[in-house]
Chain A
Amino acid sequence: MIVFEKPKALTDAPLHYCPGCTHGIIHRLVAEAIDELGIIGKTVGVAPVGCSVMAYDYFACDMVEAAHGRAPAVATGLKRCMPENIIFTYQGDGDLASIGMAETVHAATRNENITIIFVNNAIYGMTGGQMAPTSLPGQVTQTSPYGRDVTTAGYPIRVSEMLSTLEGPEYIERVAVNNVKNVRAAKKAILKAFRNQVEGKGFSLIEVVSTCPTNWGMTPSKALEWVETNMIPYYPLGVYKDKTAIAENEGKEG
Chain B
Amino acid sequence: MAEKVLMKGNEAIAEAAIKAGCMHYFGYPITPQTEIAAYMAKRMPKIGGTFLQAESEVAAINMVYGVAGAGFRVMTSSSSPGVSLKQEGISYIAGADLPALIVNVQRGGPGLGGIQPSQSDYFQATKGGGHGDYRLIVLAPASVQEMADLTVRAFDLSDKYRVPAMLLADGTLGQMMEPVEIPEPDVTPVEKPWAVNGTKGQRQHNIVNSLYLKPDQLEKTNFERFERYKQIEENEVMVESFMMEDAEYCIVAFGIAARISKNAVIAARKKGIKVGLIRPITLWPFPTDTIARAAEQVRGFLSVELSMGQMIEDVKLASSCKKPVLLCNRAGGMIPSPEEVLAKLDELIQL
Q: Report which A residues bind B (CB closer than 8 A).
A: 11, 40-44, 46, 53-54, 56-57, 59-67, 70, 73-78, 80-82, 85, 102-103, 105-106
Contact = CB atoms under 8 A, between A and B. Distances in A.
Contacts of B88: 67
Nearest to A109: B55
Given A80-B63, A80-B67, A65 B198 contact: no
17 contacts: A41-B199, A41-B202, A42-B200, A54-B211, A62-B199, A63-B196, A63-B209, A64-B209, A66-B62, A70-B62, A76-B66, A77-B67, A77-B69, A78-B69, A81-B50, A81-B70, A85-B198
Contacts of B201: 40-41
B199 A56 contact: no
Interface string B196-221: 11111110011111110000000000
Contact of B200 (A41, A63, A75, A106): A41
Contacts of B155: none
A15 B246 CA distance: 68
Contacts of B211: 53-54, 65
B134 interface: no
A67 B93 CA distance: 10
Given A77-B74, A102-B59, 5 more contacts: A61-B205, A62-B207, A67-B62, A73-B58, A76-B59
Interface in B25-68: 26, 50, 52, 54-56, 58-60, 62-68
Contacts of A61: 198-199, 205
Contacts of A75: 66
Main secondary structure, interface of A, reads helix
Q: Which 4 A-B pairs have the closest CB atoms?
A: A77-B66, A73-B62, A77-B63, A62-B196
Contacts, number: 131
A65 B66 contact: no
A64 B207 contact: yes
Contact of B56 (A46, A74, A102): A102
A78 B59 CA distance: 13
B196 A77 contact: no
B62 A103 contact: yes
Given A65-B210, A67-B88, A76-B52, A41 B198 contact: yes
B55 A62 contact: no
Of A46, A60, A75, most buried by chain B (CB within 10 Å of CB) is: A46
B196 A73 contact: no
Interface in B202-254: 202, 205-211
Contacts of A62: 196-199, 205-207
B263 to A, nearest CB: 43
B286 interface: no
A77 B200 contact: no
B72 interface: yes
A65 B207 contact: yes
B198 A67 contact: no
Nearest to B200: A41
Given A41-B201, A77-B64, A80-B24, A70 B58 contact: yes
Contacts of A53: 211
B301 interface: no
B209 A65 contact: yes
B92 interface: yes
A85 B198 CA distance: 7
Given A81-B24, A102-B56, A64 B63 contact: no
B164 interface: no
B197 A82 contact: yes
Contact of B70 (A59, A60, A66, A82): A82
B50 A80 contact: yes
B89 interface: yes
A70 to B, nearest CB: 4
A61 B63 CA distance: 20
Contacts of A40: 199, 201
Nearest to B206: A62
A198 to B, nearest CB: 13
A75 B202 CA distance: 23
B71 to A, nearest CB: 9
Given A56-B207, A66-B62, A73-B63, A78 B70 contact: yes
B207 A70 contact: no
Given A77-B74, A85-B197, A66 B65 contact: yes
A25 B182 CA distance: 55
A43 B198 contact: yes
Contacts of B26: 77
